Structure 1
Amino acid sequence: MQPSSRIAEVFAQTAREQRLALMPFIVAGDPNLETTADILLSLQSNGADVVELGIPYSDPLADGPVIQSAAYRALAQNTTPSNVLTMLRGLRDRLTMPVVLFTYSNPLLNRGAEAFFAEAADAGVAGLVVPDLPLEEAERLSPLAAEQGLDLVLLVAPTTPGDRRRRIATSSRGFTYLVSVTGVTGERASLQDRVAELVLSLKGLEAGPVAVGFGISGADQVRQVREWGADGAIIGSALVKRIAAAQPGCAAAEAGEFCRELRKAAG
């Protein structure tokens, strides 16, 4: 990993301050892109360290019902990768926390990976998560993303074999995304105990920061992730649900309030 990347710098800072990196996830365009811009700024001002921004896709295989519904609402608003990047470009002077785009391989490869990387970098994006990208393809594309200053973040699941887990952890840039459950995204009442073992295993590889996502629904689980020694906690469905339930014009304030609650738990 490149220690000079924007994402790596955030994890270095949170490590110095002995706190967990707080990493909320939202879906771009839900309920519309103007509100998404307001939500991003609200999350930043209420303690988020890195934000994961989902580009809506019609066949979101890794996403549970809450995020799928948000993606469909965003698509109904004609949200496209291009206008998501345009929105981010308009925030470059105000949005200082790193933005990691969550997208699927079809939109990425249909546009052309190198062209997409260049456009994302121009919009101020710091990294990418592509959950359905095969490891072999990720290893090929990661250097191309790095040329644009982008970290290609790879995922490890509870079912990933040890040798492949090592390969993923050493290839991932910015951080390694540890999926806490087998299955799609969504809130869970509790996290699997095996996650603690996986955090220790990945940390033992000394390949870089480890962030836990999928299934984190509130402050108690953020504290649990912190106790396990992870470097970051990614919160998606619980936040997306709050945004969807917010009164018109109140989504950014609702997201900010939830972020403050999580920030206290993250340290």
Structure 2
Amino acid sequence: METLKVGSLTLTWLNGGVTNMDGGAMFGVVPKPLWSRKYAHNDKNQIELRTDPIFFQLEGKNILIESGIGNGRLTDKQRRNYGVEEESKVEACLQQMGLTPEDIDLVLMTHMHFDHALGLTKQINEKLTPAFPNAVIYTSEVEWEEMRHPNIRSKNTYWKENWEAIEHQVKTYKSECEPVKGVKMIHTGGHSSGHSIITVKNGNECLIHMADLMPTHAHQNVLWVLAYDDYPMDSIAAKQKWLPKGMAKGAWFLFYHDAVYRAVKWDENGEMIDFVKREKNTAK
């Protein structure tokens, strides 16, 4: 498990599983000769996308960002279509740190698409139950509303199986909230109507989780947005705001999906000046 120490804060990436999604969809209108220079693809034109939750402790709370893809939550057809080669080992990762899923106090969900939300529940005796039974699950009010009432497009990613069992744990907010001091969830829209980013301040250090507005380091260009984005111009506007702001502050940018980097720091010219690389041969 890779870690990043920033001030008094330690972030740890847990193994939440992996998908392989179509590269063209993940880079939208960007031509393949351009995006393929920055991110590897397989012979099916798929790119590797981790689904690895980020764990940290702050203000006496055990906190997760995102939840992974869980175990046994997908059919054989879905595993094939989404290129799932590995499912979640979050419980085993927590055990290595001397913790259990019951010890998680907060789960911060930037949005509730299936590849972020599947890990919120698990099967026990053929019944879906909360994977983190004592946690408060934060997501934006807009996202929670669409999760439960998807439209003709979003119903492919908002599944009732991903919210019915955890409905009593969910706490929503309108524009932003601060679940614990120094951690903010800020509604941006873009990738989904209710999509949010997460910022963390610790001393003079700043961390920004752009979530699916910038799912990998290769999406740094503000115009490189996903074909999956419901509101691409809102994605671009959010990137135009937060990327320069973060770079000017020397912020760490955190990733949930990136198969190469866990976190990256860029200077004001967009040049990479520090990083935490994913160790692909790490024990799983």
Question: Which bin holds the TM-score, normalised by the shorter protein?
Answer: 0.3 to 0.5
Greater RCO structure (CA 8 Å; 6+ sep): 1
More strand by share: 2
Which of the two has higher C-alpha Rg? 2
Q: Tell me the TM-score normalised to structure 1 length.
A: 0.35
More helix by share: 1
Q: Tell me the TM-score normalised to structure 2 length.
A: 0.34
